[in-house]
């Protein structure tokens, strides 16, 4: 099963990438991933909390599988519960309008013994969470709040 959610952001890929890879600042803006600890470096492990709408927060450990600056960041994780579902998640950036805008897409694929049996109703819930993050990322980047030296106004980790 796979889920996709995309948004156009009125900023170049470099600005979107800067906000996307500043994991330590996710608590200030990211409703889906309010906490990610680690570095966006291929082969590294990160610890995260997924706050999917309508579900309790779920801690995960993921391995960064791809870092292509200003183009793609991807990771893979086993969902807690014995590894019955394996999750591959990618954040993709594509320049638009000569590089002044960015199409930002989240792609998630669920595999494993139970991955194919995930109910289709869950797809809508996952897409809702991705849409919420995409909208929050758009607000953050378009406001310039991602830039170093700009204070964060809210912290979802508290």
Tell me the per-residue pLDDT of 7-17, one tens digit each, with 9 for 90 and over.
Answer: 999 999 999 99
Structure tokens at 51: 């706050």
Q: What is the pTM of this model?
A: 0.87
Alpha-carbon gap, residue 126 to 2, rounded angstroms: 10
For 27, list phi and psi in degrees, rounded to 5.
-60, -20
Q: Which residues contact 29 (CB under 8 A, 6 or more apart)?
A: 19, 136, 137, 139, 140, 145, 152, 154, 156
Task: Label residue 155 by pLDDT band (50, 70, 90).
Answer: very low
The model's pLDDT over 92-142, given as tens digits with 9 standing for 90+, comes to 999 998 999 999 999 999 887 665 666 666 667 888 999 999 999 999 999
Q: What tens digit of pLDDT does each residue of 22-60 get?
A: 999 999 999 999 999 999 999 999 999 999 878 889 898
């Amino acid at each position: 099963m796979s889920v996709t959610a995309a948004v156009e952001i009125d900023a170049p890929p470099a600005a979107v990438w800067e906000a996307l890879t500043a994991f330590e600042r996710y608590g200030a803006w990211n409703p889906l991933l309010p906490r990610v600890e680690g570095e966006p470096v291929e082969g590294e492990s990160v610890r995260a909390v997924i706050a999917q709408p309508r579900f309790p927060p779920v801690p995960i450990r993921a391995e960064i599988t791809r870092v292509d600056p200003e183009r793609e960041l991807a990771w893979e994780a086993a969902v807690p519960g014995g590894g019955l579902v394996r999750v591959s998640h990618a954040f993709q950036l594509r320049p638009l309008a000569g590089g002044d805008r960015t199409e930002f897409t989240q792609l998630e694929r669920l595999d494993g013994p139970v991955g194919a049996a995930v109910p289709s109703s869950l797809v809508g819930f996952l897409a809702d969470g991705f849409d919420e993050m995409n909208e929050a990322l758009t607000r953050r980047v378009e406001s310039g709040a991602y830039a170093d030296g700009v204070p964060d106004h809210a912290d979802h980790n508290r």
